[in-house]
Amino acid sequence: MYAILDIETTGGKFNEEGITEIAIYKFDGHEVVDQFISLVNPERDIQPFVVKLTGINSNMLRNAPKFYEVAKRIVEITQDCILVAHNAQFDYRILSTEFRRLGFEYERKTLCTVELSKDLIPEQDSYSLGKLVRSLGIPVTDRHRASGDALATVKLFKLLLAKDTTKTIIQKSVKLSAKRKIEPRHLDIIESLPSITGVYYIHKSDGGIIYIGKSNNIKKRINQHFTGTNSKSKKLQSKVASVTYEATGSELVALLKESEEIKKNKPLHNRALRRSTFTHALYVFKDDFGYLNLKIDVADGRKKAITTFSNRESGKSFITKAVDEYKLCQKLSGLYKTKTTCFGYDIKACEGACIQKETPESYNKRVEALIEKNSYSNKNMVIVDRGREVDERSAILIENGVFKGIGFFNLNYQINNPKVLESIITPMENNKDAQHIIQNYLRKNKRLKILSLD
């Protein structure tokens, strides 16, 4: 018997979080036979970002039962069950912490659907619950609410059970609570780290760097390393002596520093990230009729790309949106193979470039507008992003389409002054990975401030 659950929390410091909502579905391997869903008054403040994510605020919880009032029901519904959750380590830790506050040792075997999914459904783009269930065609409602996420986990677990025909992986994956505790030395390291955006460095006893990473929440990310059960996490746990970090404020700065420093330091456990971060690129060519054609293809360093993508799917998604935004022809954008009109022309979304009805001059203007927006080739500009402090911003300098480096400046400075810019910028290598990181970040963050230096 399984108890499939999801917990929403207040957020906050490690092991100081409180439960705001819990959903448990008792599952016999075929169907749900019992369920318990409840808001919970955590008797502590909810972090603003959590309110924004879940929609659960303090007013909703004022009259909700406190944890001690629902504890008996949780014990009963999970009795003789294996706890199943997406990132079970987190849910089990939170639940056990709440019971310890009541003086009760809560122990159950656990199964993690993240680990199971990586074994049984390999090579997915993401194993976050939302993206994973969407890619598998599993419907999900009330995302980031306990009931919706737990029900999606039930459907995912049902699929995983069907895929594990021999049941060997399920059996191997069942964890006993005793194996899930964080070592005291790891707890000390976690406590010393801030919940900020930056680059972190995991050191062994002689000070050597064995892993470099970036995160929007360094404390949370290191906690994941120290509670993870995959091969890499276990190696890091056994070798770590200390963790240092560098605050960046900006995720873009963190991504650029992480990429460059992994290449320079070549840490033992960063093997995967030493390779290029992109596989596909967008290219343009002119056909025999004078029309600019777009094509997503495997990245080729010998060709000049407009922009690059982490995978083919990401590139195809970009082109699909661009066709709608710029009213481009599906045929000339590589989305619709045909010798006649594209589907867009049939529904009056394309102006006929596919059959030379629209002139090349008219059509090419829109393609050029797309290229201009998504390529910083030959441009002189500064990308302004968050800084490490409230009164600070970060600057990413591009000169003649070449990435020059990064820096930080106080809001009182005028950074369009070349001398000021020169003094704050730390030079960095302009390589294809850096270009990909910048272009990808610009695509995803439309509201970034960009100062033209032309």
* Residues paired with 24 in a beta bridge: 5, 36
In the prediction, which pLDDT does 377 show? 78
The C-alpha angle 112, 118, 120, rounded to 5 degrees, equals 95
Mean pLDDT by 10 residues, the chain (454 residues): 93 84 91 94 89 88 92 94 92 92 89 89 86 85 86 91 70 53 84 93 91 94 88 91 93 94 88 66 94 93 86 89 94 92 92 95 95 84 92 91 90 72 85 89 88 83
- Considering only CA atoms, which of 17, 7, 67, 8 is closest in space to residue 41? 67
Contacts of 210 (CB under 8 A, 6+ apart): 202, 203, 204, 236, 239, 240, 267, 268, 269
- pLDDT, tens digit, 9 for 90 and up, residues 210-247: 999 999 999 999 998 998 888 888 999 999 999 999 99
Other Cβ atoms closer than 10 A to 70:
19
Residue type, 20: T
In the prediction, which pLDDT does 77 show? 95
Element (H, E) at 162: helix 146-163
In the prediction, which pLDDT does 166 show? 63
| Cα dist from 63 to 39, 43, 74, 101, whole Å | 9, 11, 19, 21
- Considering only CA atoms, which of 332, 270, 327 is closest in space to residue 296? 332
In the prediction, which pLDDT does 304 show? 86
CA distance 196 to 254: 11
| Cα dist from 263 to 98, 214, 243, 271, 431, whole Å | 43, 14, 19, 10, 11
Q: Given the DSSP bridges, would you call strands 198-203 and 32-39 parallel, antiparallel or unpaired?
A: unpaired
| Cα dist from 235 to 55, 174, 175, 381, whole Å | 38, 20, 18, 42
* Residues paired with 397 in a beta bridge: 382, 405
| Contact indicator for 329, 307 with CB cutoff of 8 Å | no
In the prediction, which pLDDT does 290 show? 96
